[in-house]
């Protein structure tokens, strides 16, 4: 019997092997780990507004915000967040019907692999860079101007670029760069590289005063975060959107307590004052705001609450 048993065992083993070969072990489906193209579209009166996602940064906000880390951590916990805080980088494309306007340009990919997708998302949203007529820069930090140029060439070949005169005089000045601390000089170089092709072709227009630049879009000086930080008010048919640039970085903290400032501010007192002024007006007048670092798409309303604000993101729209 022994040989038969051995033969049977061999047969069972062979069947097991062959059935393994026919029906392979199922692995779980691989995780995909990406989002849909990052754009969000809404109408503002007759204007079409498209938020463009450039990517995100993981920020150690407990070290960046000018308050005790324990307070920051407690605020994050209240909002179901933890360190580091993944922070969106948003820009905004406005089609007024007569002009295609881009407000800020993202990092251009110079800040690492987690950002730099603005151009891909602009195309995914149905536009081309050569269609952009005017670019409005809120301020000259790299995550807002890096996308202007690539290797010395203007990414937006026909656009006129508008930026606050305070930033033009600061970030595009060799003398100011020479005066700056060594660790701040990279920021100057980034801005100079970004603006170089536009300056060379006479397409940089400093914004020296508040007022309308193209029909339906006006500048509102909000200096503090940088010397020439500028907000832009977009308005159609009485519906208004204030694009606030970097008046806020950490929603979970600075909405509840707008007095908290951040290490990126060049003048913390002025930056806080501008945040308080613009946010109070937006809440009082029930005006939409759009911000570069509120969670994508970064468009919503502020509601006065305690000594700060609650944030109501826009209701999702189908795009009309």
Which residues bind to Zn ion, rule: CB under 5 A? 143, 246
Tell the smallest beta-carbon distance from residue 229 to Zn ion (Å). Answer: 10
- Please tell me whether residue 148 adopts helix, strand or coil conformation: helix
φ, ψ at 308 (rounded to 5°):
-140, -135
Residue number with CB closer to Zn ion (143 or 167): 143
Q: How far apart are CA 78 and CA 80, in angstroms?
A: 6
Nearer residue to Zn ion within complex by CB, 54 or 143:
143
The smaller minimum CB distance to Zn ion, of residues 138 and 193, is found at 138
Peptide bond into 26 cis (omega under 30): no
Cis before 226? omega within 30:
no
CB of 246 to Zn ion, least distance (A): 4
First to last CA, the chain: 80
- With respect to Zn ion, which residue has the nearer C-beta, 134 or 143? 143
Q: Least Å distance between CB 138 and Zn ion?
A: 8
221 and 242 Cβ atoms separated by less than 8 Å: no
Decide whether 48 or 143 has the Cβ nearer to Zn ion: 143
Q: How far is the CB of 300 from Zn ion (least distance, A)?
A: 18
Query: 3-state DSSP call for residue 251?
Result: helix
Q: Distances from the Cα of 185 to the Cαs of 161, 190, 244, 284, in angstroms?
A: 23, 9, 25, 40
**Which residue's CB is nearer to Zn ion, number 91 or number 93?**
91
Q: Contact at 8 Å (CB) between 148 and 103?
A: no
CB of 143 to Zn ion, least distance (A): 4
Q: In this structure, what token pair is assigned to residue 16? A: 């097991």
Q: Name residues whose C-beta falls within 8 Å of residue 301's C-beta, 6 or more positions apart in sequence.
A: 282, 283, 286, 287, 288, 289, 311, 312, 314
> Minimum CB separation from Zn ion for residue 204, in Å?
20
Among residues 162 and 293, whose Cβ is nearest to Zn ion? 293
Q: How far is the CB of 265 from Zn ion (least distance, A)?
A: 11
Report whether 252 contacts 216 (CB < 8 A).
Answer: no
In the complex, least distance from residue 278 CB atom to Zn ion, rounded to whole angstroms: 16
Structure tokens at 110: 């110079």
Closer to Zn ion by Cβ: residue 216 or 224: 224
Task: Report d(CA 24, CA 96) in Å as an integer.
Answer: 57
């Amino acid at each position: 019997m022994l040989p038969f048993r051995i033969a049977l065992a061999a047969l069972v083993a062979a069947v097991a092997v062959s059935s393994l070969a026919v029906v392979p072990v199922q692995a779980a489906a691989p995780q995909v780990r990406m989002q849909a193209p990052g754009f969000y579209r809404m109408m503002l009166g007759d204007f079409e507004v498209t938020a463009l996602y450039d990517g995100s940064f993981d920020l150690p906000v407990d070290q960046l915000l000018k308050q005790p880390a324990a307070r920051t951590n407690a605020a994050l916990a209240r909002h179901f967040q933890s360190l580091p805080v993944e922070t969106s980088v948003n820009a905004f494309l406005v089609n007024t019907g007569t002009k295609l306007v881009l407000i800020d340009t993202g990092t251009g990919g110079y800040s690492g692999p987690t950002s730099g997708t603005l151009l891909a998302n602009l195309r995914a949203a149905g536009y081309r860079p050569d269609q952009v007529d005017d670019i409005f820069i809120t301020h000259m930090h790299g995550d807002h101007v890096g996308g202007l140029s690539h290797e010395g060439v203007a990414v937006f070949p026909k656009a006129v670029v508008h930026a606050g005169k305070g930033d033009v005089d600061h970030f595009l000045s060799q003398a100011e760069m020479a005066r700056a601390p060594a660790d701040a000089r990279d920021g100057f170089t980034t801005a100079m590289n970004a603006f170089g092709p536009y300056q060379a072709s006479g397409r940089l227009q400093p914004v020296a005063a508040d007022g309308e630049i193209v029909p339906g879009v006006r500048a509102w000086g909000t200096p503090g975060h940088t010397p020439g930080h500028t907000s832009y008010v977009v308005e159609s048919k009485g519906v208004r959107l204030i694009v606030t640039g970097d008046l806020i970085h950490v929603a979970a903290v600075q909405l509840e307590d707008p007095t908290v400032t951040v290490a990126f501010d060049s003048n913390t007192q002025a930056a806080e004052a501008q945040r308080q002024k613009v946010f109070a007006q937006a809440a009082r007048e029930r005006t939409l705001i759009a911000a570069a670092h509120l969670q994508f798409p970064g468009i919503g309303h502020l509601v006065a609450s305690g000594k700060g604000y609650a944030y109501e993101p826009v209701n999702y729209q189908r795009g009309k």
